[in-house]
Structure 1
């Protein structure tokens, strides 16, 4: 599946949990959808499969779901 360009998603803190970021970046519709994506193995962080909704993301992390990618820009 082709990948899209990486979108940058800015936050005002230094970290954010993966489940929250999936919703903020419009990679998941809501918390339930985020959990399902993680349980199904559809989420990668920096190219590695991730299943922990509570994983802390930091500035520069790239999250991908179904070819859509978003990079975290933390300004905390």
Structure 2
């Protein structure tokens, strides 16, 4: 499994934007499509809200990639 550490600037990042910023897709729209497909989990639970607020301490998983969100 590939681990990515994402340093959060601010209180939260929207899930679709996190996928884009972490380099897992080319745009926020592509991130929304990934979330809609049911392939994205937040803290082990499938997340269907495309603009779900992801905060420091949470872990986002897509396939064999795990994004650990930390505070900057």
- The answer, yes or no, to whether TM exceeds 0.5 is yes
Q: Which residue of 1 aligns with 2:43?
A: 46
Q: Say whether the 8 Å CA contact 2:8–2:56 is kept in structure 1.
A: no
Rg larger in 1 or in 2?
1
Q: Does structure 1 residue 34 correspond to structure 2 residue 39?
A: no
Q: Which residue of 1 aligns with 2:52?
A: 55
Q: Does structure 1 residue 17 correspond to structure 2 residue 14?
A: yes
Q: What is the aligned length? A: 72
CA apart distance, 1:47: 0.7
Unaligned runs of 5+ in 1: none
RMSD of aligned alpha carbons: 1.2
